[in-house]
Amino acid sequence: MTRPAVRIVGDSAPLRRLSALTRLDPTARDALAAAIAEQRAISAQRELIREGAEIARPMLLVQGWAARARILPDGRRQFMSFVLPGDLIGECRQPRPIASSSVVTLTDTTICTPPPGAHFPTLAEAYAISGAVEEAYLLAHITRLGRMSAQERIADLFLELRERLDLAGLTNGDTYALPVTQETLADALGLTSVHVNRMLQELRRQGDLRWQQGQVQLLHSDRLADRLGRMPVKVSAAD
């Protein structure tokens, strides 16, 4: 008896990511796989969660990209973080949580409902670690926006995305798919799309970066990481 053919290419992103965060027991893995099997499609530019509304139930992003966003009264937009495959949305400890930001899909996506942590202890731990990792990335984003130049912000974000996508099994060496527009990057990095464009060109000219057909390649990621003081995010000594 062989496993189904589809499994040969590897587990889905959420399964890879959450097992990488902590060791999942077989029960948890099965529950997770079952939940993922129930995934449903959501098209791009949909609002998954509205800021200020009560979060009905948490979600788990299976495929595609989303972002946490806030809009100012005059229309300025800020993306606070990218939500990548395997990331949880609205997983909270407290009862009846209110969303502190909107979450919008950036691409066509599929999502599912994560198995309740209360029933699967190792999953609960994975959710906890996932939350801590997410907070670490928020801190990194604050440092980017507060103290880095435009070019550094882009390089630093690209390094972060590589690190995160790698955990979900979505990189190929130093190359990964970046399915967003320069305008979206600008709204994440606190810049204008015009300036993002110019700085991307400079990074390419310097030989640090390639970005063709939606695939990003980081040429000297070690050197970049050094210069920016980036350390791989680690939130638990138990790993």
Using CB under 8 A as the binding rule, whether residue 68 contacts its own copies is answered as: yes
**Contact string 20-59 vs its own copies (x = CB under 8 A):** --------------------------------x-x-----
Smallest distance, its own copies to C-beta of residue 125, A: 6
Under 8 Å between Cβ of 77 and 71: yes
Distances (CA, A) of 214 to 56, 155, 210: 34, 16, 10
**Conformation bin of residue 86: beta by default, left when phi > 0, alpha when psi is -120 to 50:** left
Using CB under 7 A as the binding rule, whether residue 192 contacts DNA is answered as: yes
Q: Measured from the CB atom, is 125 or 208 closer to its own copies?
A: 125
Rg of the chain over all Cα atoms, to the nearest angstrom: 18
Q: Tokens representing 104?
A: 């919008």
Using CB under 7 A as the binding rule, whether residue 107 contacts DNA is answered as: no
Residue 92 contact among DNA, its own copies, none, beta carbon within 5 to 8 Å by kind:
its own copies
Using CB under 8 A as the binding rule, whether residue 143 contacts its own copies is answered as: yes
Q: Tokens representing 23?
A: 């060791």
Q: Measured from the CB atom, is 206 or 236 closer to its own copies?
A: 236
**Contact string 152-191 vs DNA (x = CB under 7 A):** -----------------------------xxx------xx
Cα(107)–Cα(101) distance, rounded to whole angstroms?
18
Which of 80, 83, 123, 209 is the binder for its own copies (CB under 8 A)?
80
Which of 43, 45, 100, 215 is the binder for its own copies (CB under 8 A)?
100
Exposed/middle/buried for 217, CB within 10 Å: 0-12, 13-18, 19+?
Answer: middle
Element (H, E) at 102: strand 102-105
- Residue ranges that bind DNA, judged by CB under 7 A: 149-151, 181-183, 190-195, 197-201, 213
